[in-house]
């Protein structure tokens, strides 16, 4: 009887190992299926997060540009000297009977010395 009880223990152990192997196999298959199903969604989420970051920085850039534009509009509405400076610098305008002289920087006019 002693031998048969050892035989049953080995058999129970083997069945337990087989059932654990089956559970590991089922776990691996379940993980593979989950990976196949959720990897595209994760990839899309990652791409959307990158795009959101890019758009956030674009919004910040445009908001600062808008602030500068609003400041310039306000200056054009209220500051006559700013209007005159802008007309002179950007539009090359002058007052009647006014002569404008433009000077180039000396570095661009300097002749090159030859030795």
Query: Where residue 106 falls among pLDDT bands split at 50, 70, 90?
Result: confident
Give the pTM.
0.51
CA separation (Å) from 102 to 7, 54, 97, 98?
A: 108, 43, 16, 13
Convert 34-73 to b/e letters by CB count within 10 Å (16 or more is b). Answer: eeeeeeeeeeeeeeeeeeeeeeeeeeeeeeeeeeeeeeee
At residue 63's C-alpha, the angle toward residues 87 and 78, to 5°, is: 35
- Whether the Cβ atoms of residue 83 and residue 76 lie closer than 8 Å to each other: yes
Per residue in 17-67, pLDDT tens? 777 788 888 888 899 998 898 888 999 999 999 999 999 999 999 999 999
């Amino acid at each position: 009887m002693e031998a048969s009880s050892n035989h049953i223990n080995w058999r129970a152990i083997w069945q337990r190992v087989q059932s654990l192997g089956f559970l590991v196999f089922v776990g691996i298959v379940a993980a593979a299926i989950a990976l196949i199903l959720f990897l595209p969604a994760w990839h899309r989420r990652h791409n959307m997060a990158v795009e959101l970051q890019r758009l956030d920085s674009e919004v910040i850039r445009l908001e600062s540009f808008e602030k500068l534009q609003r400041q310039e509009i306000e200056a054009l509405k209220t500051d006559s000297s700013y209007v005159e400076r802008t007309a002179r610098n950007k539009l090359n305008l002058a007052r009647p009977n006014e002569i404008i002289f433009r000077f180039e920087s000396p570095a661009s006019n300097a002749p090159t010395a030859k030795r």
